[in-house]
Amino acid sequence: MNQWNGKISAGYEGISCRILKYCTYAIAKPLNHTCNASLNQGIYPDRLKFAIVMPIYKQGEKNWRS
């Protein structure tokens, strides 16, 4: 599945995949620098620790419980 399929829906930050796709070359170096500095200093911003986790039904019984 191609994650850059041009959907206009946005995540929690409000930035759509389409915008990121068009800005890739402009944001790649600054984003790389920021990530490397974060790893080198051992500081990871709290805002980047946020994730939306959604289970996706694939097959089998939907109401199955262990």
Distance CA 38, CA 23 (A): 22
AA letter at 52: I
Rounded average pLDDT over 47-58: 78
pLDDT digits (tens, 9 = 90+) for 11-51: 667 778 888 888 999 999 998 999 899 999 998 888 778 77
Examine the pLDDT at 57 and tell me if it is beyond 50: yes
pLDDT of residue 50: 78
β strands within the chain, DSSP E:
none
Q: Is 20 helix (H, G, I), strand (E, B) or coil?
A: helix
pLDDT of residue 1: 44
Contact call for residues 3 and 17 (beta carbons, < 8 A): yes
CA distances to 25, 45, 53 from 40, rounded to whole Å, are 23, 13, 28
